[in-house]
Amino acid sequence: MTVEIDKVTTGQILISIIWMLIFPTLVLFLSGDWFWVEGWIFDIWFIVLGFSTIIYVYRKDPALLAERFRSPGTGNQKGWDLYFYYVEVIAFFAFFIIMPLDAKRYEWTTDFPLWLKILGGIGLLKSFFFLYRAYTDNTFLSPLVRIQTERKQKVISEGVYGFVRHPMYLGAILLFLGTPMLLSSKYGIVLGILMSLLLVARIFGEEKMLVEELEGYEDYKTKVKYRLIPFVW
């Protein structure tokens, strides 16, 4: 079934805005400190990324916005990916619950080095770049592993997709690792590593599908040799 542009409703946009505000609010609320500097730095980063992305996509690429609202299990999403999708969603919620409890409210993590916080902040700046550019460069950026035959999906090799084959995942991994470092949460780092490994596993299944079902992807792999990290993997 084709996802039409006009299926993106005002209600869906409002729900997206609410979700973009829930996670930053959750960080400060669970921390027990509404003046937590690192928490505010992250919240501002998160809100600016979320709003700038949705404004760009709403104005410039409504078909992509419709795709981003596609429900799990539809559009010939690969069956195995449905499990990955829900596990990542659950882990994402746990991620935002554990970090403020660990770093601030209960202070399970102590003596966190300043240099790691700075490194986390740098990671989030890089994450912003890759996440935002993934949206602006790839109109087929679906949250589901599927081939968008109704939109005549083709290989995207320009922009950040000429740098690595999965810039969205690279941005997400920088988010998963950079956020707990900025917020000083060792348990968040552990969960971030696990979430990153899930994305790496998802890449194998996704690329298998793309090679088999998307014309030109094999040639793209020859042109852009690295999945996530140039000269490494």
pLDDT tens per residue across span 63-99: 999 999 999 999 999 999 999 999 999 999 999 999 9
pLDDT of residue 15: 86
Instruction: State the average pLDDT for the chain.
Output: 94
The pTM for the full model equals 0.93
Q: How many angstroms separate the CA atoms of 179 and 121, rounded?
A: 7
Cβ burial, residue 58 (10 Å; 0-12/13-18/19+): middle
Give one word for 47, left, alpha or beta, with left for phi > 0 and alpha for psi -120 to 50.
alpha
Closest by CA to 27, choosing from 14, 40, 45, is 40
Decide yes or no: CATH 3.40.50.300 for domain 5-223. Answer: no
Q: How many angstroms separate the CA atoms of 164 and 161, rounded?
A: 5
DSSP for 120-183 reads HHHHHHHHHHHHHHHHHH-TT--SSS---GGGT-----SGGGGT-S-HHHHHHHHHHHHHHHHH
Q: Quick check: helix, strand or coil at residue 66?
A: helix
pLDDT of residue 8: 74
Q: How many CB atoms lie within 10 A of CB 118?
A: 12
pLDDT of residue 223: 96
pLDDT tens for each residue of 42-61: 999 999 999 999 999 999 99
